[in-house]
Amino acid sequence: MKKFLKKANPSLIIGAAIILLVAVTAIVAFFWTPYAPNVMDNAHSYLKPGDDPAHLLGTDQFGRDILSRIMEGSKTVLIIGFISVICGAFAGTLLGSIAGVVKGPIGSIIMRAMEGFIAFPSALLAIMLVAVVGKGETGAIIAISIYTIAPFARLTNTMILENENLPAIKAAKSFGVDSKRLLTHYYLPMMLPRLLTQFSASVGSAIMTEAALSFLGLGVQPPNASWGLMLSNAKQYALLYPYLAFAPGIAIIVTVLGFHLLSDGLGDLLIKRRS
């Protein structure tokens, strides 16, 4: 542990601290928020931050407490971000591994399909996927998972092709180690550092995509709280109540930055740089 802390770089520490903060907020939000996030209170609508010490970040047009909704939103963000990237990363790694180990027509069909997915501009692909699976939270999760598959598949496949000529792998093959064991016991440990780095970066972009989809009305639906949705709401009242745009925007920036920093930090820590 001490050794680990010694090697840790600023990116890693700051990134991990930010994510820890968001995670704690989300856990607290499961049990307690200052106000019920979806309950309207028209008597206290449009309170600016600082107007009323009871509402730290103010209230929106329905008098809902913004701090509570940000906390509630952190839950949504982490759940959608993690579930979708875990599913996508798993499927992608599996597909990439199959393509790398099996090769032949199956392998090349898989990889061609992945290249096809990567060719789509990412915003367009996300929107198309939502059109297929439907709006809403589940739709967003499925869309983002599918969207995460291709990059993981390509990364895994590249790593396997890079490593398959290593003496250790060749030796294992000559001993008759079967493909499944080869993957889990030989390739996976080698690939883990880069997969983890990619995972962290992917959660960051999944959160960004979720926010964008919700902002466009394709993700989380009202009255539920999501940072993207809150911004979409802020847009309508931007003229008179610009403060509505601050809290959710900053929440998104900080969280995404946290995952990017963690990814950079992990990369520096775990991946041996080729010189």
Binding site for another protein (CB under 8 A): 112-113, 115-117, 119-124, 127-132, 204, 208, 211-212, 215-218, 228, 231-232, 234-235, 238-239, 242, 245, 248-249, 252-253, 256-257, 260-261, 264
Which one-letter amino acid corresponds to residue 112? R
> Cα separation of 59 and 157, whole Å?
49
CA distances from 200 to 21, 40, 43, 241, 266 (A): 16, 36, 42, 35, 9
The label of the residue with tokens 């493909």 reads 179
Q: Report in angstroms how near the CB of residue 203 gets to another protein at its nearest.
A: 13
Q: Which helix (H) or strand (E) holds 154?
A: helix 137-163
Comparison of 159 and 234: residue with beta carbon closer to another protein? 234
Q: Which residues contact 26 (CB under 8 A, 6 or more apart)?
A: 71, 74, 75, 77, 78
> Cα separation of 73 and 215, whole Å?
13
Helix axes 104-119, 66-102, angle to 10 degrees: 150
Comparison of 154 and 183: residue with beta carbon closer to another protein? 154
> Cα separation of 219 and 131, whole Å?
11
List the one residue out of 241, 182, 185, 248 whose CA is nearest residue 215: 248
Q: Report in angstroms how near the CB of residue 97 gets to another protein at its nearest.
A: 20
Q: Report in angstroms how near the CB of residue 80 gets to another protein at its nearest.
A: 15
Comparison of 67 and 261: residue with beta carbon closer to another protein? 261
Q: Report in angstroms how near the CB of residue 211 gets to another protein at its nearest.
A: 6
Comparison of 105 and 167: residue with beta carbon closer to another protein? 105
Comparison of 108 and 184: residue with beta carbon closer to another protein? 108
Nearest-5° Cα angle at 191, 175 to 85: 130
Indicate the SS3 state at residue 59.
Answer: strand
Comparison of 190 and 257: residue with beta carbon closer to another protein? 257
DSSP tag of 185: I
Q: Report in angstroms how near the CB of residue 214 gets to another protein at its nearest.
A: 10
Q: Report in angstroms how near the CB of residue 37 gets to another protein at its nearest.
A: 20
Q: Which residues share a beta bridge with 59?
A: 65
For the beta carbon of residue 226, count every other beta carbon within 10 angstroms. 28
Comparison of 26 and 213: residue with beta carbon closer to another protein? 213
Q: Report in angstroms how near the CB of residue 120 gets to another protein at its nearest.
A: 5
